[in-house]
Amino acid sequence: MSHRKSATGSVSHPKTKPLPQPESTPFFLKMPLLWLAIAIIVVYLPSFSAGYTDLDDGINIHGKAAFNSQLSNLINAFRTSVLIDVASDIYYRPMHSISMILNYQLSGTNIGGYHAVNILIHMLAVWALHRFLLLLGIARLHAFLLSLFMAVHPALVMAVSWIPGRMDTILGLFSLLFLGQSVHYAQTGKPVSLALTGFYLLLAFFSKESTVFLLPAAFILHTLGRGEQWNSKRSLMQWGVWALCFVIWLGMRAMAAVAPMNMTMGEILKSMVSKLPAYIPYFGKAFLPIGLSVYPVPADAVYTWGILAAILIGVLVYFGHSPHKRMVWAGLAMFGFMMVPLLLIPDYIGHQTFEYRLYVPMTGLLLIIPETVLFRNKLSATTLGISGLAICILLAVLNVNHQKHFTDPYAFWSNAIEYSPHDSYVNMMMAAREPDSAVSRQYFERAFQLNPRERYVNYIYATMLQEKGKIAESEPYLKKEQEITGYNKCNLLLARIARQKEDFPGAIGYVNTYLKKEPADTMAQLNLLLLYMESDKDNDAVRQANKMDSMHFEIPPIIRSQIKY
């Protein structure tokens, strides 16, 4: 090779193009799981000290305390429904019961411990999502931002900050572990990976019945999204393991004390058609989380943001020019299938479109974002990372603001009445917590107008009347509640009315009816003893006192001294 001499006589070398310097890796990609954990803990700090909402959380913690206190019930959880002693309960969710049993061992009935575990489960689910996205081949930066998006998303606050919401975070955890492991098996064909796929799927089944719809969603992910042959050897092995898990779950559910969901095909179709529009606000809350509510109902649903979100995502996908649009359709299909359980819930159980139900379907929608112009652009990793973090910070602010609605019953039901003013149950619950008696009465009147047969509205109204000394006026409401729901506590209030009328046989009859279902109620047992004594039924009083002694119920000395043994 010849070299030219410079004017100074030195040899000049031909100029070479400098090698491109690799862009520095954003700091949060060096320890992504740690940063995700920190983000979750910081954002959900308010929930660590949150209280009760008076929507099922008391039942989960105090109502099931006797069951949760026994470690032996870790096995019995697979033999009964969530509500244990309610014969009509249709929900078979052993993993939720197990989580509550273990939680009780750590914190007893201290609600702070349950909030901490809820946040921990959410963290594990986000970690599982991160792994799942990486296994799908999504870039590390994109996988982190998508995981952070879910970690701080305000529409998922109810799943994390509301104690019963852990049913869906547990389902999310095992569903994502299952999906990730199924992709790993499809890639490697390792038997251990296939076994883990089945193990996680079983845990998902034992978490919630909606796992049934996870299977077609996963099938579409593999065949449409990833382009796998449905009849390849590995695929057939997967389908076989999935089918086996379904049969095992179905068999164990059939042997458990769980009521069947008795819905005719006509009722199912009617329910699905009437609730199908609910997809729109759910889609909107995933991408434009505006107007979040603790108790959303179809009557007050807002469809504007859902329609705008659908148009926005369509535009972003179009300008993304992605060659992998199959993953877009797979993500939409996953969202669609995982929302189907909402359509099948009978109205007599619930018509609410609770936001915690978005927890698992959200993972399908996340698969769409990498195929949009948001990620498919010429921005540097640093610029994209900063932009993504800015969006997540905005979501985190909305998240923290929404958490304040879960701090106490008044805050919870105030938010519910703001966004669902046309729901009878919401008006009833707000009336029971409104300190201003005039305003409270207005809420109750509104509840009656909207639905005079709303479950428990007559009972709560009767309770308020008795607290105000209007005992006789409460009787028709209590009898109406018994006609509608057969609510057992009505018997205690009816006993009080009978006692005021000096109808002692009637009062005794009501208390005995109540105690047939609630024999462990010490105060009711004592009231029955007092009724026997007051009506000069000495023999019955002695029998009742002996019964209370055998059950180790305390009888105050001043009362015991008056019993005519």
What is the average pLDDT across 224-236?
94
CA 475 to CA 459: how far, in whole Å?
10
What is the average pLDDT across 42-59?
94
Strand boundaries in 444-509, DSSP class E: none
Q: What is the pLDDT of residue 7?
A: 37
Q: What is the pLDDT of residue 84?
A: 67
Strand boundaries in 19-175, DSSP class E: none
Nearest to 99 by CA among 249, 210, 203, 200: 203
Q: At what angle do helices 111-135 and 94-107 cross, to 10 degrees?
A: 130
- Give, in order, the Cα–Cα distances in Å from 74 to each of 63, 78, 86, 107, 253: 17, 8, 19, 17, 16
Share in percent of the chain as helix, strand, coil (round to 5): 70, 0, 30
- Give, in order, the Cα–Cα distances in Å from 98 to each of 74, 82, 90, 299, 525: 6, 10, 18, 36, 32
Cβ–Cβ < 8 Å for 333, 296: no
Q: Is the dihedral of CA 492, 416, 62, 75 positive or negative?
A: positive
CA 203 to CA 171: how far, in whole Å?
8
Distance of CA 112 to the CA centre of its chain: 18
Q: Which single residue is written with the structure tokens 């002695």?
A: 542
Indicate whether 13 pLDDT > 60: no
Cβ–Cβ < 8 Å for 489, 514: yes
Nearest to 168 by CA among 413, 357, 363, 437: 357
Nearest to 363 by CA among 184, 157, 81, 171: 171
For residue range 368-406, list pLDDT tens digits in order: 999 999 999 999 988 999 999 999 999 999 999 999 999
For residue range 181-218, list pLDDT tens digits in order: 999 999 999 999 999 999 999 999 999 999 999 999 99
Domain boundaries 423-512, CATH class:
mainly alpha
Cβ–Cβ < 8 Å for 148, 157: no
What's the CA angle centered on 77, arms 75 and 79, to 5 degrees? 90
Q: What's the mean pLDDT when you consider all of the chain? A: 90
Return the H-helix or E-strand segment holding 183: helix 166-188
Q: What is the pLDDT of residue 427?
A: 94
CA 212 to CA 534: how far, in whole Å?
58
For residue range 460-488, list pLDDT tens digits in order: 889 878 888 999 999 999 999 999 989 99
Q: How many CB atoms lie within 10 A of CB 542?
A: 16
Indicate the pLDDT class of residue 17, thresholds 50, 70 and 90.
Answer: very low
Indicate whether 549 pLDDT > 70: yes
Per the structure block, which two tokens stand in for 427?
């008006």
Domain(s) labelled CATH 1.25.40.10 in the chain stretch across 423-512
Indicate the pLDDT class of residue 432, thresholds 50, 70 and 90.
Answer: confident
What is the average pLDDT across 156-163?
97
Indicate the pLDDT class of residue 18, thresholds 50, 70 and 90.
Answer: very low
Q: How many CB atoms lie within 10 A of CB 307?
A: 14
CA 156 to CA 360: how far, in whole Å?
10
What is the average pLDDT across 63-71?
91
Cβ–Cβ < 8 Å for 226, 186: yes
Q: What is the pLDDT of residue 409?
A: 95
Q: What is the pLDDT of residue 182?
A: 97
Indicate whether 20 pLDDT > 80: no
Q: Which residues of 412-443 are buried (b: 16+ CB within 10 A; e: fewer)?
A: bbebbbbbbbebbbbbbbbbbbbeeeeebeeb
Q: What is the pLDDT of residue 87?
A: 56
CA 343 to CA 193: how far, in whole Å?
34
For residue range 259-316, list pLDDT tens digits in order: 777 777 777 787 788 889 999 999 999 999 999 999 999 999 999 999 999 999 999 9
Nearest to 164 by CA among 111, 124, 211: 111
